[in-house]
Structure 1
Amino acid sequence: MSTPPSWTSPKVAGIHRPFPPVSHTPTPPSRNTGPAGPGRPPDTAEVRLAGWISDLTVLQELTERIGRTSTLREAVEETLRAGARLLGARRGLLALRGPHETGRPPGAERLIGLGLERAELGQWETVPRASACHTRLIDDEEPLREIGHPDLATADGLHPRHRAVAAGTGCAASYALPLTTEAGDPFGAALWLFDRPGQPESRQRRLLARYLRHAAGHIAGRRELAHAREALAVVRDGLLPARLPRVAGVTLAARQRTAPRGGPACWDVLPLPDGGLGLAVGAASEAGPAALAAMGRLRAGLRAYAVMEGEDPVAVLSDLELLLRLTEPGRPATALFGYAEPATRRLVLASAGHPPPLVLGEGHATYAETALSAPLNMLSCWEAPSVELELAPGETVLLYTEGLLRRVGGPLDRAFAGLRTAALSAPAAARADPEALLDHLLRALPGGGGAQAAGASGVGASGVAGDTVLLAARFD
């Protein structure tokens, strides 16, 4: 039914008003301004003015509340709560049209409910699009201003499935409005459901329409931000290895946790000629899409140099530093590269301003003494010696980024001590399984005061935690 029903009926059963209604009458105010006597009604102008002030106060409160939301879900849930308050409803749902670039079929919407269980929300998704109010508001070529059904059991033009879902979820009436862009194009719709037959008053509908004009703009902004973050996450994941290689004599595991505003990080495990294995982690000091793209180029360069001269980690980082200086001027980064020989349990490391690896064995956890050095692309020439480790059977080498230290919080020495303590507290079964070990460390270091941790090298000293990367290699 494309034509909205008439709202002239005074029936309001099932509409629970959260604040007393104020009558707005078009009758001109009385010219008698004297005090109201026993038989004289109060001044209509004063009543109307009081109603306007009450309405503006409510709208101001609700718009301030939605303005404090920071995510798309928070904005949608606040909009549903505000609409329920204005209409006196208990339940509702909001549908957002899916973006075309995600590959979903046209017309796919994302539903978020208020007071509806997941199963009930799923039932409303089964209502045919030609009958459901929220999909009609989105699909119709001529956008509708509102769709209301004062009595879903007797409303004309509803699909039998629509009536069945309404009866099954205990909904007797509904009222829906579209969410439109500034150009007037609908990108979503909000639907509120009532327990008993009834309809909102004209004043309630007018207040809700004014509120939704503001809320729609806020939701559209949060929606664009959410889409941008999802796209960035797809790119970020695409710059990392899709899977870990299987190498005889060593067991590998990796974890990455992204930070909302921190610098990106990368890791890599690369099988090399003659049975060698390259292990690498790196982190950038800046944040944003440009830093993420630079980190992708850094990983690509590191892989190329590792294939050519991986047995010499110092040469790999020296060439990488030259590449960054020529292609990424003024953009420093930390990196650590290790060349491992699983057959002999020999590991050669070189670090450019990166935190030292942690070696875990039976009853001990010690940091490898890598030489202090500047990050890549910070000085005119990078130099640092390599460190060679002879590992015992069953020992695990943990490579990580500064983001893990920031999860510990506090000064740098306290962060290193906290990481070592967390590693020593791992059960024997976790120490024997790199996957379980990394899960244990992430649980033991949840990241409460990470913003207070000192920088491991001066990079990232802005106090914003970067991405957390953990790479574990257990040698048999």
Structure 2
Amino acid sequence: MSAPHLPKVAGIDPEVPVSTQTAAPLREIPAAPGAFIQDRLAGWVSDLTTLHELTERLASTATLDAALNELLHAGAALVGARRGLLVLERAGTTTPSTTLGLGLGPADLGHLETVERSATALGRVLDGPPDAADARDGIATPDLLGDQDLDPRHREVATRLGYAASYALPLASEAAGRLGGAVWFYDEPGEPSEKQRHLVGLYARYATEHLARLTELERARADIATVAEELLPSRLPCIPGVRLAARHRTGPQGGGDWYDALPLPDHALGLAVGSVGGSGPSAMAAMGRLRASLRAYAVMEGEDPVAVLSDLELLLRLTEPARTATALFAYCEPAARKVVLAGAGHTPPLVLGDRRCEYVETTLSAPLGMLACWEAPSVEFSPAPGETVLLYTDGLLRRTGDAMDRAFARLHSAAASVPKADRHDPAAVTDHVLRAMLPDGLDRSDSTEDVVVLAAHFD
């Protein structure tokens, strides 16, 4: 016979034994198991945020030099270093290597170059096999001066420059290959942590892809600039009684602005500027055809600028009906100080001298290709001895960012401000006008506008 169950009281089972020990009071609340995970997650989020900010800054760079500087600074911040050195050299190309220092002057770079390349971590990163572990993970030298096998010259240079440790990393990725390497220097013995190595490795691989794109872009821009220069006069002619100067800048995509100066029979001179609509190789090719055609028409009937532009209009309309262009042609007789010009939708020349600075009043006309037949009356004027005639394309005006009326006023003010001592030098006049119009410089990389300025000074 089984024993009867005792009744339950308030849900307590009397069969459960009750401890006779009194539990100690709880003085500390143990950390929740998720706190450690939360700390790790917070650290990862912080690291990813830092990496995102640095890559965003790198992606905003538009030139190779700016990207290299940004890479050096960001890498130093990620590995905790103060100074660094970067070498960019792509295998299989004839492009000379680029060396850039952070916190290192020209003399410091010269000292580093005296160390045998194979004796440095950067040299081993640059010259080692692409699939070696060093090529992936980098080379840390935590105590240079304590390394008994260190090259004596390297020890001497490290002592002179005051660095005691280094970390070298290749600039490589699967798509771009190896573009170069970077090394950061520590003032005291040490090396980056595993987390720092991981972050700078991720950043370096992204930077390599960005550098590869910028390298290809700059190579393409250089090729475009070379082609554009070949399509323009290689030198300006020497004609008694007149001196010439020209400045030209082609946009990064290649444009259609051009100029020309050619000797004509009877010691005359033909001056021309123009612009073809559009940009890129197509516009550059059209510009070359237009300039060559104008030279031919100028030799045959240059004394009549209206006939030259009429022939050019007919040619453009028949051969490239979808193309528009502007042009201005001036027939100059320096001995007689006589200039006859005609323009097709082009900006008027500016005459600068000791007694005047004014635009030449030209008849309004449509650009080439806009009408079934183009013809506008020519304009004749006589530059006084010592005066300079300035021809230019509208890219000079658009580069200012002002409205056209304000840009014309700005150009007039720039020409009027040329010092008297420089007014007899066409090159000095051109440079002064460009500095006044474009304070950031003619070669500003973020501008897409072509610029042409041609100056003729009459003695």
Q: What is the TM-score when the length of structure 2 is the normalising length?
A: 0.84
The corresponding residue for 2:144 is 152
* Partner residue, 2:451: 468
Residue 24 of structure 1 corresponds to none
Decide which structure has the larger Cα Rg and report it: 2
1:300 aligns with 2:292: yes
Counterpart AA for 1:387: V
Q: Which amino acid aligns with 1:198?
A: G
Partner of 1:235: 227
Aligned equivalent of 1:109 = 97
1:311 aligns with 2:303: yes
In structure 2, the residue matched to 1:193 is: 185
- Counterpart position of 2:433: 441
The answer to whether the Cα contact below 8 Å between 1:407 and 1:447 also exists between their aligned partners in 2 is no
Counterpart-to-counterpart distance in 1, 2:453 and 2:142: 58
Separation in 2 of the partners of 1:424 and 1:49?
A: 65
The one-letter amino acid paired with 1:152 is: L
* Shift, 1:273, TM fit: 2.1
Give 1:31's aligned residue: none
Contact 1:408 1:447 in 2 (8 A): no
CA distance in 2, matches of 1:174, 1:290: 50
| Paired residues, number | 424
Distance in 1 separating the partners of 2:281 and 2:163 = 46
Structure 2 counterpart of 1:134:
122
Distance 1:60 1:321, change over 3 A: same
In the other structure, the counterpart of 1:206 is: 198
Residue equivalent to 2:373: 381
CA-to-aligned-CA distance 1:360-404 (integer Å, 9 cap, x gap): 232212222222111112222222222222332222211111122
Partners in 1 of 2:287 and 2:148 — Cα distance? 60
| Structure 1: distance between partners of 2:176 and 2:360 | 62
Are the aligned partners of 2:328 and 2:341 in contact in 1 as well (CA < 8 Å)? yes
Q: Is the 8 A contact 2:172 2:208 kept in 1?
A: yes
Q: How does 1:283-432 map to 2 (within 5 A)?
A: 283-407=275-399, 410-432=402-424
Question: Which residue of structure 2 aligns with residue 124 of structure 1?
Answer: 112
Which one-letter code corresponds to 1:132 in the other structure?
A: T
The answer to whether the 8 Å contact 1:262/1:286 transfers is no
For residues 278-311 of structure 1, what are the alpha-carbon distances to aligned partners after superposition, in whole Å with 9 as ceiling and x for unaligned? Answer: 1111112322232223222222222222223322
| Runs of 5+ unmatched residues, structure 1 | 1-34, 451-463
The answer for the alignment partner of 1:182 in structure 2 is 174
3-state SS of 1:284 partner: strand
Identity among equivalent positions (%) equals 57
Structure 1 CA distance for aligned equivalents of residues 301 and 120 of structure 2: 64
Candidates 45, 70, 90, aligned match of 1:78: 70
2:278 pairs with 1:255: no
Shift of 1:175: 0.7
| Pair 1:165 & 2:157 matched | yes
Alignment of 1:12-23 (within 5 A): none
Gaps of 5+ in 2: 1-25
Change (3 A) 1:40 1:327: same
For residues 163-195 of structure 1, give each alpha carbon's deviation from its aligned partner in whole angstroms, at most 9, with x where no partner exists: 333232222111111111334721121211111
Separation of aligned partners in 2, 1:329 and 1:447: 38
Go from structure 1 to structure 2 and tell me whether the alpha carbon gap of 1:155 and 1:374 turns closer, same or farther (over 3 Å shift). farther
Alignment CA distance shift 1:207-1:338 (3 Å): same
**What code does the residue aligned with 1:176 have?**
A
CA distance in 1: counterparts of 2:49 and 2:352, whole angstroms = 62
Aligned partner letter, 1:121: L
What's the CA shift for 1:38?
Answer: 8.3
Cα distance in 2 for partners of 1:289, 1:126 equals 45
CA RMSD of aligned residues (A): 2.8
Shift of residue 272 of structure 1? 1.6
2:298 & 2:150 partners in 1: Cα distance?
66
- CA–CA separation in structure 2 for the residues paired with 1:317 and 1:426: 32
Q: What is the TM-score with the length of structure 1 in the denominator?
A: 0.81
Task: Tell me the distance in 2 between the aligned counterparts of 1:134 and 1:305.
Answer: 61
Q: Which amino acid aligns with 1:248?
A: P
**Kept after mapping to 2: 8 A contact 1:283/1:335:** yes
